[in-house]
Copies of this chain bind each other. A is one copy, B any other.
Amino acid sequence: MECTGTFEGVYMGKKLSTLGEFGVIDIISRDLHPRHSWVKTGIGDDCAVLDIGGGLSLLVTTDMLIERVHFLPQKITPYQLGWKALAVNVSDIAAMGGEPKAAFLALGLLPTLNEVFVHELKRGLIACADEFQVDLLGGDTVTAPTEVTVCLTVLGTAPADQVVRRAGAKPGDLIWLGGVVGDSTAGLHLLLDKPGNVPESEREQLVRAHLEPQPQVELGRWLAANSLATAMIDVSDGVLQDLWHVCDQSGVGAKVDADKLPVSPAARQFASSVGLDARDWALAGGEDYVLLFCTPPEKRDEVLATCPGSITQKPTKIGRITAERQLRVCFDGVWSERAPSGYDAFKKK
């Protein structure tokens, strides 16, 4: 066996930095033909959907966070890391209209770490698990030589006839956001000590949006149970990219009024202090973990009027689904076509 010491030199073809995240996903998901009849949805939505009988669907999702890629040790506490690693998976369950139920933790740790790190990581994970009624039921604990790695798999359930997928949006449908977008990217800029000013009181709000996301399980459940949403996704890669996933799988396009994006005054102020526009963070930043969903136009009043009081923030209407398969964005009253740009795991920014 030849010893090159790395996987890089041995194989040919395009580098992943050129191929991009969706090129890699395309290779992996190509020509898969599930053989078991319980499979209702495989790769390509926020969760896989399995029919487990009794009128219930099982929802399954997995997300991996790696040090230096998804978090920086000096910028996040182990408590927050535990919270976030579970929360981003819970958000995928929310995006299908499900209730999260069970979590499985695969944890790569450096042997030089100490036990308080583990206690704190667990405390954050359990805080999130308690908040969203999730049981931690298993996992794997291994050595990681260089980067702390946290991989969570979460199982949830939903009534089989209430699962909301990405596909399903129809021309004329309204596009909504369940909460503020852009705060997470603003928080990341603050954590990275990028220039800009924001009052201390608002700094915490932005940083917390990035480090301790609040998945919208109750909103997702309410939309699903009341047959309001035709399509849904959570905003993890930015509004444009995630909306494009919905459009792509629904065979439609969309127009979004950026002036209507629910951007917080704090993010707006911070962005403008460095000559940026917080709407750009909302459109292409990501990691907001709020729900983006579509409803038939006649459901508009129902969404606004009957959204339960325990959901503190009312959804915001940001645009409309179109038959034309393109993304159009209105900025300060001017419409233009936009590429579905956002986070890509492999491409350089």
A19 contact from B64, B67, B115, Cβ within 8 A: B115
Contact in complex: A106, B147 (CB < 8 Å): no
- Inter-chain contacts of A38 with B (CB < 8 A): 101
Say yes or no for A68: interface residue by CB 8 A criterion: yes
Residues of B within 8 A of A126 (CB): 32
B36 touches A4 (CB 8 A): no
Q: Mark A264-287, 1 if CB is under 8 A from B, else 0.
A: 000000000000000000000000
Q: Given the complex, which residues of B lie within 8 Å of A23, measured CB to CB?
A: 115
A3 touches which of B12, B47, B74, B148 (Cβ 8 Å):
B74
| Contact of B28 with A118 in the complex, beta carbons under 8 Å | yes
Bound Cα distance A56, B28 (Å): 30
Contact, CB under 8 Å: A11 / B48: no
Q: Interface size on A (CB < 8 Å)?
A: 98
The CA of A11 and the CA of B73, in the complex, are separated in Å by 12
Of all chain B residues, the one with the shortest Cβ separation from A74 is B3
Binds B, one of A138-146, A219-227, A309-317: A138-146
Bound Cα distance A287, B7 (Å) = 23
Q: Which residue on chain B has the smallest CB distance to residue A17? A: B111
Question: Per-residue CB proximity of A165-194 to B under 8 Å, as 1/0?
Answer: 000000000000000000000000001000
Chain A, 1-55, CB within 8 A of any chain B CB: 1-8, 10-17, 19, 21, 23-25, 27-28, 32, 34-36, 38-39, 42-43, 47-48, 50, 52-54
CA distance A12 to B70 in the complex (A): 24
Q: Mark A82-112, 1 if CB is under 8 A from B, else 0.
A: 0000000000000000000110111111111
Instruction: Indicate if the CB atoms of B153 and A345 lie closer than 8 Å.
Output: no
Q: How far is the CA of A346 from the CA of B145 in the complex (A)?
A: 10
- Which of A107-123 touch B at CB < 8 Å? 107-120, 122
Tallying the copies of this chain within the complex gives 2
Is A330 among interface residues, defined by CB-CB distance under 8 A?
Answer: no
Question: What distance in Å separates the Cβ of A89 from its nearest Cβ neighbour in chain B?
Answer: 9
Residues of B within 8 A of A138 (CB): 42-43, 47-48, 60-62
Question: Which residues of chain B come closer than 8 Å to A43, judged between CB atoms?
Answer: 136-139
Interchain Cβ contacts under 8 Å between A and B, 16 examples: A3-B74, A4-B74, A16-B113, A24-B141, A27-B118, A28-B139, A36-B102, A50-B155, A52-B56, A60-B104, A62-B138, A104-B153, A111-B346, A141-B345, A143-B346, A147-B147
Residues on A facing B (Cβ under 8 Å): 1-8, 10-17, 19, 21, 23-25, 27-28, 32, 34-36, 38-39, 42-43, 47-48, 50, 52-54, 56, 58, 60-70, 73-75, 78, 101-102, 104-120, 122, 126, 133, 135-149, 151, 153, 155, 191, 345-346, 348
